[in-house]
Amino acid sequence: MSNDPSAVNRRNFLTIAGSAAAAPVAVSGDVAAQQGRQVSTPAATMPVTLDVNGSTQRFDLDPRTTLLDALREAAGLTGSKKGCDHGQCGACTVHVDGIRVLACLTLAVSLEGREVTTIEGLRGPDGALHPMQQAFIDHDAFQCGYCTPGHIMSAVACVQEGHARSDDDIREYMSGNLCRCAAYPNIVAAVRQARDTMGG
Ligand code: FES
Ligand code: FES
């Protein structure tokens, strides 16, 4: 997962926002002022432009919107799954500038101008499946399939990182992706096959 220290992730954001939350905003509207009430302002939106699967897309988002919610709800790309929404299952894994990240912990507005690739963007220009997608089919590496997009995005990055040279490596570097159906042996076999095809 991304360790880019410059990236604003949801944990950092919540840490900052948490201290601000103790000081509610006082609104100077006549009625509120007369009644001495404090009310919070509605969240303003922020523009952000992302390259999503090779297409430039502009969004106006509440700055608290995660990349996962932006993809699923604003861009209509529902391949990336929301499993835990807390960085624990890997179902939301996508690539940002070729690096795997957890979309549920990444704020969309922190990614201005960056390249985001989701499972929908993995296939080739001719529509052919990516070797990792084909390997998951060949090895029956899923049952319900809910974890599969995240597993495949992580597995592609795992091979590109050079972390798929042995089965132990594959298990270690795929350990952030959980599968409730326990298809792990088939997943390792699929990653091994794709690694050989991809030359990783
Ligand atoms: S939904 Fe992001 S890690 Fe579980
Ligand atoms: S195939 Fe069902 S959770 Fe992995």
Using alpha carbons only, give the angle 24, 30, 31 rounded to the nearest 5 degrees. 80
Question: pLDDT at position 119, please?
Answer: 98
92-124, pLDDT tens digit by residue?
Answer: 999 999 999 999 999 999 999 999 999 999 999
Distance 104 CA to ligand 1 centre (A): 6
Could you give the percent of the chain with pLDDT greater than 70?
78
Q: Angle, nearest 10°, between helix axes 184-198 and 148-160? A: 40
Distance 172 CA to ligand 1 centre (A): 18
- Banded pLDDT at 34 (limits 50, 70, 90): low
Of all protein residues, the one whose alpha carbon is nearest to atom 4 of ligand 2 is 179
Q: What is the DSSP string of 114-170?
A: -EEE-GGG-S-TTSPPPHHHHHHHHTT--SS-TTHHHHHHHHHHHHHTT--SSHHHH
Alpha-carbon distance of 194 to 8, in angstroms, equals 32
Question: pLDDT at position 199, please?
Answer: 85
pTM: 0.81
- Banded pLDDT at 40 (limits 50, 70, 90): low
